[in-house]
Structure 1
Amino acid sequence: MANDRLRTAMLAANLTFEQLAERVDAHPKTAERWIRDEVVPHRTTRHRVLTVLEAREADIWPSLNGVARPTPAETEFVHLYPSRSAITGAAWQELLAGVEDQMDVLVFSGVFLVEQYDLVPLIRKKAQAGVRFRLLVGDEKSEAAQQRAIDEGTPGGLEGRIQLMRRYLAEVAELDGVEIRTHGTTLYNSMYRFDDQLLVNPHVYGALAGQSPVLQFKRHPSGTVWDHYLKSFEQVWRCAKPEKGEE
């Protein structure tokens, strides 16, 4: 099993194997093995890595700090980003480009995925290859969406972003494998699923979604957290209204 904790920390720091290796005076192939084969670097090098990544040893190599072996549920947790804005463009691009089976999204707007990461062309390409997309966006006329806009201090602004997202997604709504629905539920979390990776962005009262933390999880056969969040997604999906293009 790869060291996903180290991989995620590198993505958050926007560093490649080569760049990290150069900064800690190691060979790139050695740095690659730290993730691929879970090789733990020597103490001096390890401390250099932690300094560069601004991370704690307990977060990257918990077994070295006398931490008991994680339970299956704990191993689902990969990383905590202090805000959605802290996730680098490279990290988003890797998650999006890596989707091979299914991508699920639950948001009010999520327009940044289109305008920053070319989601619409990606959907066209991936859908043609058999990837399934389930995209849940808000209903701008719903009480929940309007109240959220007031709570975050942008009355009218969120509704406009939702309309924009729906307009963008209309271009791919009729593609095979693409399902788009609108919802009016209270959105406690935005969710972004990329195959077996899941980003959960809790909504904090009075803050914009981009300012709030993001938790990253990886699906585990014996875990419970993944199923807990996906159950919530399915509940919203069932009560949401299909956009044009669905049967």
Structure 2
Amino acid sequence: MYNVRMSNERLRAAMAAGGWTHASLAEATGMDPKSVERWVNLGRIPRRRTAIRAAETLGQDVHVLWPALRQARTARAVSPELVALYDQRADVPASAFVNMFATARDNIDVLVYAAVFLHEAYPRLNDLLIERAEAGCAIRIAVGDADSANVQQRGKEEKFGYGIESRCRLALLHYRDLQATPGIELRTHATTLYNSIYRADQEMLVNAHLWGVNAFGAPVWHLRRTLDGGLFDTYTESFNAVWRTARAVEG
């Protein structure tokens, strides 16, 4: 076991959401309830095999619950806001996006060209966003303008031809039904997309794009805001800059 001094609030929230107690999770993972209590209250990190079993039981990504398990094997975190670094978006479970949005209370921001994988992986995405908006969450979604030069150029670079343009139109169709919901704004943008940004309150997933590589093959930063003027704020400012250039979708 590794020792850290902070409680694991991510694990606490995951257990509460699923109705798990220290005792019930301990039974499901073959551990002692005191060990589970230490995971939550003292931030203790279980052995990798145990952590994976616990994460699967909770329906969570093990590296979201215990980021240090990834960092210990791959790279040293250079920012206190870096929770996890995924080699490619394909490594990020859909539940990471869904759970992040589901726990948002104040803000959800999405900046993409298309990202149709979200609706494909989680057909209830629109229902979830409507639920969050009705609970008072302000939601901003910016998708790529299929007719813009930058979107068309991205298609050439990724060797998709017209694929990216059609995916932008499909994304717009997915999100268009949300316009009738107060608190949800939908816009299209024509900017060069250096990063896709998925933000929910103080959590953010940033898909950093690579030339000639589809977004699913590019790395993803999981950030959590812990200070002023850090990485999180930098990407938030980038989102806001694009949002100001974007056009509201009519109808």
Give the TM-score, by structure 1 length. 0.77
SS of equivalent residue, structure 2 residue 178: coil
Q: Partner of 1:102 in structure 2?
A: 107
Work out whether 1:114 is the aligned partner of 2:119: yes
The gaps in structure 1 that reach 5 residues or longer are 11-15
Give the letter aligned to residue 250 of structure 2: K
Work out whether 1:59 is the aligned partner of 2:65: no
* Percent of aligned pairs with the same amino acid: 35
* Counterpart-to-counterpart distance in 2, 1:201 and 1:237: 17
Work out whether 1:242 is the aligned partner of 2:248: yes
Give the letter aligned to residue 211 of structure 1: G
1:93, distance to aligned residue in structure 2 (A): 2.6
Give the letter aligned to residue 179 of structure 2: A
Work out whether 1:131 is the aligned partner of 2:137: yes
SS of equivalent residue, structure 2 residue 159: coil
C-alpha contact (below 8 Å) 2:25/2:36 kept by paired residues: no
Give the letter aligned to residue 107 of structure 1: V
1:102, distance to aligned residue in structure 2 (A): 1.0
1:150, distance to aligned residue in structure 2 (A): 1.1
Aligned CA-pair RMSD: 3.2
C-alpha contact (below 8 Å) 1:76/1:223 kept by paired residues: no
CA deviation string 1:209-245 (max 9, x = no partner):
0111100000113451111111111110001111126
The gaps in structure 2 that reach 5 residues or longer are 1-5, 15-19, 54-61
Equivalent position to 2:193, from 187, 202, 205: 187
* Counterpart-to-counterpart distance in 2, 1:32 and 1:148: 49
Work out whether 1:215 is the aligned partner of 2:221: yes
Equivalent position to 1:85, from 84, 90, 94: 90
CA deviation string 1:155-197 (max 9, x = no partner):
1111111101111211111321111111110000000001110
Give the letter aligned to residue 40 of structure 1: R
Q: After TM superposition, what 4+ stretches of structure 1 lie above 2 angstroms from structure 2?
A: 1-4, 16-23, 25-33, 36-41, 45-54, 57-63, 89-93
Cα 1:58–1:219 change in 2 (3 A) is: closer
Give the letter aligned to residue 41 of structure 2: D
SS of equivalent residue, structure 1 residue 85: helix
Q: Partner of 2:164 in structure 1?
A: 158
Q: Partner of 1:205 in structure 2?
A: 211
Cα 1:50–1:157 change in 2 (3 A) is: same
1:99, distance to aligned residue in structure 2 (A): 1.6
Give the structure, 1 or 2, with the largest relative contact order (CA under 8 Å, sep 6 or more).
1
* Counterpart-to-counterpart distance in 2, 1:29 and 1:156: 56
* Counterpart-to-counterpart distance in 2, 1:61 and 1:110: 25
SS of equivalent residue, structure 2 residue 207: strand
Give the TM-score, by structure 2 length. 0.76
1:90, distance to aligned residue in structure 2 (A): 2.8
Give the letter aligned to residue 88 of structure 1: P
* Counterpart-to-counterpart distance in 2, 1:166 and 1:132: 19
* Counterpart-to-counterpart distance in 2, 1:92 and 1:40: 25
1:101, distance to aligned residue in structure 2 (A): 1.5
Give the letter aligned to residue 96 of structure 1: F
Equivalenced residues, count: 223
